[in-house]
Amino acid sequence: MVQRRRSTFAVLTLTLAFMASVATAQQPPIPQQPPAAGIGGMPKVPTVELTDDSAKNAVDAYLTLREKYGDKVPPADKAQGLQEGTAAMADINAVLSAKGFDSPEDWQKTITSVAMAQGFLKKGDAADMDKKIAELEANEQVPEAYKQQLVGMLKSMRPSENNLKVVKDLMADPTYGEKLAEIEK
């Protein structure tokens, strides 16, 4: 179980490294909008509804970028690394564009959605979480406002049924099942 958590964490860490490089390579800086508020003031993880093609393309792009850059993207925020970082960002954008993504942020939301659904499926959390939500909703001893907050938090952590189906199908596909296993390494 620790290995699975590390795997999902590794995917998200590499994704965030690419996104940080994108943000620092932008000239001039793009004003950032605050993330949509989640439950309890915590930012909600940005996800998208997956299609078979978008999930496959996100996985393919991830593996291509990992093969080219490993776990590090050349720095784009230091004077000596600016040229190297700018070239890397152009290459990253070209890879993502070739896979059908309009922007690195578009890809990041998609690969995050894949990773979350994969982790959820691997741990078998769907039935357990649904049971916990039902128990919490039926519990009359929990104040209603607190209950709604907890149920909302649990539901926000659960990938959509569509995303679970798309990733489950990918896991069953011999080619993409192997690629998803490669991402977990």
The pLDDT tens digits for 47-91 are 899 999 999 999 999 999 999 888 775 554 455 456 566 778 888
Provide the H-helix boundaries in 26-103.
52-69, 82-98
Lowest mean pLDDT segment, chosen from 37-41, 71-75, 119-123: 37-41
Top mean-pLDDT range of 1-15, 88-102, 152-166: 88-102
Spatial separation of the C-alpha atoms in residues 151 and 56, rounded to whole Å: 31
- Closest by Cα among 117, 96, 86 to 12: 117
Of the pLDDT bands very low, low, confident and very high (cuts 50, 70, 90), residue 6 is very low
Amino acid 73: pLDDT: 59
Over residues 92-113, the mean pLDDT reads 94
pLDDT tens for residues 125-180?
Answer: 777 888 888 898 999 998 998 888 888 888 777 899 999 999 999 999 999 999 99
